[in-house]
Amino acid sequence: MCGIVGFTGTKQAAPVLLDGLSKLEYRGYDSAGIAVRDGESETEIIKEKGKLKNLQEMTDNGKAVKGCCGIGHTRWATHGEPSALNAHPHSSDDGNVIAVHNGIIENYQELREKLMKHGYVFHTQTDTEVAVKLIDYYYKKYAPLPIEAIARSMVRIRGSYALCVMFKDYPGEIYCARKDSPMIIGVSGEDTFVASDVPAILKYTRNVYYIGNMEIAKLEQGKATFFTIDSEEIQKPLTEIKWDAKSADKGNFEHFMLKEIYEQPNVIRETIDSVVKDGKISFDTINLTDEEMQQIEQVYIVACGSAYHVGVDLQYVMESLTSLQVRVELASEFRYRKMTLNKKSIVIVISQSGETADTLEALRSAKNQGIKTLGIVNVVGSSIAREADNVFYTQAGPEIAVATTKAYSTQLVAGYLLSLQFAKARNEIEECRYQALLEEIYTIPDKVERILEDKERLQWYSAKLINIGDAFFIGRGIDYAIGLEGSLKLKEISYIHSEAYAAGELKHGPISLIENGTLVISIATQDTLIEKTVSNMAEVKSRGAKLMAVTTAGNYFLEDTAEFTCYIPKIDPLFAGSLSVIPLQLLSYYVSIGKGFDADKPRNLAKSVTVE
């Protein structure tokens, strides 16, 4: 949720910190702060409620704050209201320890009471202040060694955290620790960086280390040293980030969301090319063999939010192509279910960041039962990527807008390829059908481009929807799965109440909500189900609904029922979701900006949900 940036090196730290934090604004926040130290002098802490621009104005974009070592933070309130007082960084009373923190400390009340008995006074409502003063307590109680103090604190803290800590006695150094909250460390010459996510430091370096769970790092100029919680030094490989730095900038687009919608043809193509060689799917890089696929009887797809909607679509695709039984589970429910998994199963977890807290815990739960796991993720070196038995990396690049578009589309096409290869490996598809479907997948990027070329009609129609109060998405089969995603997009960035229903369920309750002017968006791309869907459209129209339809080119008879019809190019119905979702993304975007909202940063939402 929150964002962390740290820097120590030869440059002035404040401008680097503020620039890095600006690249993390998409994560969601309500306040921001920095702490900068100039050699042996006292550390200057500046923090303020509201947008990062307040901090930039207070510091003349960092020029007014001198020093080459510092940490910064954008806070998304959990414990304590949004305020300058509760904003990070936090400090011990004497300024001995200063820190920023992502995550939630579950036993902070217990620790707070312990520390108060030892004379500590608390000035904020945050759990982070407890962590700061706990580190200070152990630093002063035992030998004044930062690694030792942090390690002892980690043993006592329950919950998730990414911590960046500065000590008064160690100028020019930053100490980091993490548990279940993402953090990367980058180096470039004499400069060393730490951040919650790649975009914050991509401008400065592509060479990064991934700090593992329950590990500690010591950052110095141009150097990072890693330790276990037992204070034993460990070696880490340096990894090169392949993302293009330009992909983390808006370019000529008004919003990241629109830019990312337009990047979809390219990233879908790159995801396909990553595993398709010479007209065949090769999972050598994923490390999942045909023999292993043959042994699997049950597939569990586990995810949250849009990634869960990918799973709903893939359930239809995979069950159509194979004899596999497929279940789709919300990660937040799956991790607490008391159920025995089929030992001959595979758990596929889907997460853009690879750090989604519930999805990560679901993965660990499956592994604890000895079940094979596969992660579909976008971030190399993320927790899910490191812990899953097999990894399918999507090629979406950095996705900045909170509402996912290109990550969703690459996850979907990754799932198509996975489903098709399962069918091939299990001898459940004829070679001619396999090749035909693979060729259809290859056509998806070009067909997405064709839909994007027709955006003016959607932009025109969206202007008519700005004042609607309620919207419903209906569809059957794969169309229902796409309706779930279209509904989520509309509600999360335009704040319009929206729900998605399987069209056949209308008479089981939802139709009672239809009245004059209610928007109903029907997705109708499945040839065998389209007549039934049209009947459902007629039912809601007769009750006064305003009807929009998304369908395949050639189904012009829908215009007799729908007020506005959007056509997608013809494609095998199994893969229609990759096309029908595009107009729904555009529609949601145009409604959002038509209402005057920031489509990139919807209220109360964060890009990566790393806490429960």
What are the residue numbers of the active site?
2, 607
Report the helix count and the strand count for the chain, using DSSP H and E: 18, 27
The closest alpha carbon to 164, from 72, 39, 52, 27, belongs to 72
Is 74 strand, coil or helix? Answer: strand
Identify the helix (H) or strand (E) that includes residue 114. Answer: helix 108-117
Is 436 strand, coil or helix? Answer: helix
| CB proximity list for 430: less than 8 A, separation 6 or greater | none
The closest alpha carbon to 391, from 365, 406, 411, 416, belongs to 411
- Tokens 């700005």 belong to residue: 466
| CB proximity list for 456: less than 8 A, separation 6 or greater | none
231-265: burial string, b at 16+ Cβ within 10 Å, e else? eeeeebeeeebebeeebbbbeeeebbbbbbbbbbb
Q: What is the CA radius of gyration of the chain?
A: 25
Do 349 and 303 contact (CB within 8 A), yes or no?
A: yes
Do 482 and 577 contact (CB within 8 A), yes or no?
A: yes
Do 215 and 177 contact (CB within 8 A), yes or no?
A: yes
CA distance 96 to 364: 37
Do 310 and 350 contact (CB within 8 A), yes or no?
A: yes
CA distance 8 to 32: 19
Crossing angle (nearest 10°) for helices 128-141 and 108-117: 40
Strand pairing class (31-37; 519-524) = unpaired
The DSSP code for 247 is G
Tokens, residue 441:
């997948």
Strand pairing class (44-49; 325-330) = unpaired
